[in-house]
Every structure is written in C-alpha cells, then in structure tokens.
Homo-oligomer: A and B are copies of this chain.
Amino acid sequence: MSSKEKILGTAIVLFAQKGYSGLSMRQLAQAVDLSVAAIYHHFPDKNALYLEAVRFAFSDKEQVFAQVWESGCSAEEKLGGFIRSLIDVMLQDRDFHRLMQREIQEADPERMQLLAQGVFNRQFCFLLQLVTELAPEQDAHLVATSVIGLAKYYIECQPLLKNFPGWKSEHERPEVIAAHITNLVINSLKVKTA
C-alpha cells in the first residue's frame, strides 16, 4: 500500500473520530508513522487532504446494493433486502457512516449537492422506483426517506436507546431492526392500497 493510500485510509478513521479541526496534521503524521512534511508532499493542505479522504471513503459503496436490485425477487422482498443491506453497510463501515454524519451536520449546501448527486443518487433512484411500484399513490420521496431515516436512526442512536425502558438486547441485532422497519413500511403501504 502506498503512503498516500495509507494516509487517506487513516485520515478517514481519525477525521470520523475527531472531526476536521479535532485532528491535527501532527497526530495524523504520527498515526501513519511519517513526518508532517511527508504528508504535505502528497497533499497541498489540510482541507484538500480532507476532501480527498471523504471521496476515497465514498468510492467503493456503489455496488453493495447491486445484487438486491438485480435479484429476481418480488418488489416487497427487494425492499426488505435493501433495508437489510443498508443496515449491514452502516454497521460494517462505521467510519464512513460517521464521516457522513459530520458532513450532513455541517450542512454546507454545495457539499450536500455533491453528496446527493455524486454519491447516493443511484441508490436513491432505485429505492424511489421500488416504492412507486409498491404504492403508486403515495409520495415516493417521503416514503423512501423514511426508510433511510429509520435505518440510520437505529444505528446511530443505539447507545442512547439502550438506556430507555423497554429496550431488549435483540434490538441491536441487524435482522431484528431490518424486520421491524420492513414491517412498518410495508404494512403502512398496504393500508392505503387495500
């Protein structure tokens, strides 16, 4: 692995943990066992390094959901499969997920557009199509975002949710969360179509 890749991979993790201003170039240099000057050889400044690290983390997410869309399942099963994959991806690549969180929180409009169009657009469109197929009379955008929001919330708020009454240990199992969300959404769609 090249130094540049090592820097980018480590930067993702550390930026996700500490945020942009929370991570110093010295700390990053120490983490990758290089000098600060060596990092500056590969990147013009801290901000450029950050942007490249975000893009680097984005780069290999596209085909995770492909098998769901390409499967011969029914629309309902596809929705269940998508929700399950979404949760698995979020749980598996927590660094990426945290980086996303920070990006969304800063809410820079330009950056949001880049993110939506350059990263998530394909998957969102597939989901939109699926929802339209399942319940053509509903607002597909609202339903699609509900699906994503539910998954996202369960993952990122788990440490908080554990402390409320009624919590069970099974609530942190991905298949349980996925089944609940799938049920919630599909049942809701059924009422209107029935």
Please give the residue numbers on chain A whose beta carbons come within 8 Å of chain B beta carbons, in ascending order. Answer: 18-22, 98, 101-102, 104-105, 107, 109, 112-113, 115-117, 120-121, 124-125, 128, 139-146, 148-150, 152-154, 156-157, 159-168, 171, 180-181, 183-185, 187-188, 190-192
| Choice from B18, B160, B188 contacting A184 with Cβ under 8 Å | B188
Residues of B within 8 A of A120 (CB): 164
| Choice from B20, B105, B128, B149 contacting A154 with Cβ under 8 Å | B149
Bound-state Cα–Cα, A146 to B191, Å: 18
Residues of B within 8 A of A19 (CB): 19, 21-22
Can you offer 14 A-B residue contacts whose CB atoms are under 8 A?
A21-B22, A98-B105, A101-B101, A104-B160, A112-B159, A112-B160, A117-B163, A144-B164, A149-B152, A150-B153, A185-B188, A187-B192, A188-B191, A191-B191
Residues of B within 8 A of A161 (CB): 141, 145
Additional A-B contacts beyond A112-B159, A112-B163, A128-B164 (5; CB < 8 A): A20-B22, A146-B180, A149-B149, A184-B185, A185-B188
Bound-state Cα–Cα, A58 to B153, Å: 21
Bound-state Cα–Cα, A115 to B20, Å: 25
**A89 → B minimal CB distance (Å):** 17
| Nearest 7 interchain pairs by C-beta | A149-B153, A116-B163, A141-B166, A187-B191, A187-B188, A21-B22, A188-B188
| Choice from B18, B145, B157, B165 contacting A104 with Cβ under 8 Å | B157
Contact A113:B184 (CB < 8 A) given known A98-B105, A168-B141? no
